[in-house]
């Protein structure tokens, strides 16, 4: 299997070539015409992201009316090619703010420089923006040097280098790393309080300010890690699913003993994401009752209750309660927060800056109706939406057991850990 690709083309929505980079010279420039014809002949729904014509494989992605096409000879590693194309778009967005035809034309010199740095003879090299900016400055233009060609057998050290995402010589006055364990709770509840579906989507966000080339080991209260090592724990253990890591994590070691070992990029990055299907009760329960409903007036009673521990506090709680589309003359009464009518969203918005655990608040609202009744007035009973953020709390119970930092210079880095729970698609049906 040949790993590399021969050339990359950038086309507009009509199929016109804007610019291209030929890495190997083994595919005729006329080959792109076949992709153009296929693009014009087929509808978007029928176009496949990868197809083969004779011995040439076409891999392409589209964004903002632009197409990036990679032409590969033989049997390429298609997943690697697509991963590179998406990383290419990400780097362009980091450099140009927005990836579109105009930004591509305005920055074609830097574009060619990026293409030369990111790939050599069809092999991916550097794909991290922080590392690329050490060589290419967006405000400067450098002359491309002589390329070092690779053979199909020899792979550049930049491909196999485990720290291609981190340049050498990084120095910080204060060596520390910040970890944020952020979880979003997707939930749908019935009007009676039954949880119809719930899902926890988590991520570990990092901000590394460590000097040199530090080696880190992260330990979580992962149930499988304890089982592999034959250990027991007095605390809560969780079962992580659908785990995805940043490329800096050593996957072989994680598969062997579930140890998360890595050399971090400098600055902010997402170390990992995970999912849990654990059934949990609503953290903030909202009950809405229509007390009176006549042809001229409708009255609501909305009760909100925090069902998490009393020592935790939810910040910036927002509750959206749907109302009929033709109401007017809103009137609200509450001893906590502020309420407003949002006619563009056909709902009332109850905002509570801080909502302590185990607390319960009440809000009453009344609306008038115009003299002419609309036929779709009764179709307003959609779901209540809730937004919130709870610091120092995770709904899954995930915990960072340790974070070890080792550097050959011997400095002691400081790890800081923070936990945050947010709402995802959090809805409660009305009765």
CATH tag, 176-280+395-429: 2.60.40.1170
User: How high is the mean pLDDT of the chain?
Assistant: 87
Average pLDDT over residues 27-50: 79
Fold of 7-144+155-160: Beta-Lactamase (3.30.450)
> Is the CB of residue 385 less than 8 Å from the CB of residue 321?
no
- Residue 181 pLDDT exceeds 60: yes
What is the C-alpha R_g of the chain? 28
Instruction: Give which of 319, 329, 323 is closest to 349, Cα–Cα.
Output: 319
Model confidence band, residue 160 (pLDDT cutoffs 50, 70, 90): very low
**What is the reported pLDDT for 106?**
86
Average pLDDT over residues 370-397: 82
Domain ranges of the chain: 7-144+155-160, 176-280+395-429, 284-391
Average pLDDT over residues 194-210: 95
Half-sphere exposure of 35 (CA within 13 A, CB side): 32
Query: Residue 431 has what DSSP assignment?
Result: -
List pLDDT tens digits, range 313-339: 999 999 999 999 889 999 999 989 999
**What is the reported pLDDT for 41?**
72
Do 176-280+395-429 and 284-391 agree at the fold level?
yes
List Cβ neighbours of 428 (8 Å cut-off, separation of 6 or more).
188, 189, 191, 282, 285, 286, 383, 384, 386
More confident of the two residues 156 and 27: 27
CA angle 342, 348, 352 (to 5 degrees): 110
**What is the reported pLDDT for 130?**
79
Model confidence band, residue 22 (pLDDT cutoffs 50, 70, 90): very high
Query: How many CB atoms sit inside 10 A of residue 68's CB?
Result: 20
List pLDDT tens digits, range 349-371: 999 999 999 999 999 999 998 87
**What is the reported pLDDT for 381?**
65
Query: How many CB atoms sit inside 10 A of residue 139's CB?
Result: 5
- Which H helix or E strand runs over 84? helix 78-96
Burial 229-246 (b: 16+ CB within 10 A, else e): eeeeeeeebbebeeeebb
**What is the reported pLDDT for 149?**
37
Average pLDDT over residues 392-397: 94
pTM over 0.85: no
End-to-end CA distance of the chain: 60
| Candidates 2.60.120.380, 3.60.21.10, 2.60.40.1170, 2.60.40.1190; CATH matching 284-391 | 2.60.40.1170
């Amino acid at each position: 299997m040949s790993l590399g690709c021969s050339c990359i083309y950038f086309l507009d929505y009509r199929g016109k070539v804007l610019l291209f980079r030929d890495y190997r010279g083994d595919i005729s420039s006329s080959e792109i015409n076949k992709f153009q014809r296929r693009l014009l002949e087929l509808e978007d729904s029928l176009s496949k992201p990868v197809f083969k014509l004779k011995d040439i494989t076409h891999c392409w992605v589209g964004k903002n009316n632009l197409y990036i096409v990679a032409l590969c000879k033989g049997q390429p590693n298609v997943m690697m090619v697509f991963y590179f194309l998406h990383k290419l778009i990400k780097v362009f967005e980091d450099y140009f703010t927005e990836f579109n035809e105009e930004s591509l034309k305005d920055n074609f010199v830097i574009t060619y420089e990026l293409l030369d740095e990111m790939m050599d003879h069809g092999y991916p090299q550097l794909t991290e923006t922080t590392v690329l900016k050490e060589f290419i400055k967006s405000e400067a233009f450098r002359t491309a040097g002589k390329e070092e060609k690779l053979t199909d057998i020899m792979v550049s050290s930049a491909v196999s280098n485990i720290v291609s995402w981190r340049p050498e010589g990084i120095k910080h006055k204060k060596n520390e790393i910040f970890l944020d364990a952020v979880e979003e709770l997707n939930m749908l509840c019935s009007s009676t309080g039954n949880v119809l579906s719930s899902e926890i989507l988590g991520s570990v966000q990092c901000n590394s300010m460590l000097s040199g080339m530090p080696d880190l080991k992260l330990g979580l209260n992962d149930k499988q890690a304890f089982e592999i090592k034959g250990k027991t724990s007095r605390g809560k253990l969780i079962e992580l699913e659908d785990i995805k890591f940043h490329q800096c994590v050593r996957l072989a070691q994680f598969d062997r003993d579930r140890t998360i070992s890595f050399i971090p990029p400098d600055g902010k990055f997402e170390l990992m994401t995970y999912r849990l299907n654990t059934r949990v009760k609503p953290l903030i329960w909202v009950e809405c009752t229509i007390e009176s409903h006549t042809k001229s007036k409708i009255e609501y009673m909305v009760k909100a209750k925090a069902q998490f521990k009393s020592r935790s506090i939810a910040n910036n709680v927002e509750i959206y309660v749907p109302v009929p589309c033709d109401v007017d003359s809103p009137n609200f009464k509450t001893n906590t927060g502020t309420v407003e009518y949002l006619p563009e969203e056909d709902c009332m918005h109850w905002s509570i800056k801080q909502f302590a655990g185990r607390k319960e608040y009440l809000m009453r609202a009344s609306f008038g109706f115009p003299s002419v009744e609309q036929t779709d007035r009764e179709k307003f009973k959609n779901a209540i939406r809730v937004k919130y953020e709870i610091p120092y709390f995770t709904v899954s119970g995930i915990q960072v057991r340790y974070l070890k930092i080792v550097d050959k210079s011997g400095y002691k880095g400081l790890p800081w850990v923070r936990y945050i729970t947010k709402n995802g698609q959090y809805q409660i049906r009305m009765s």
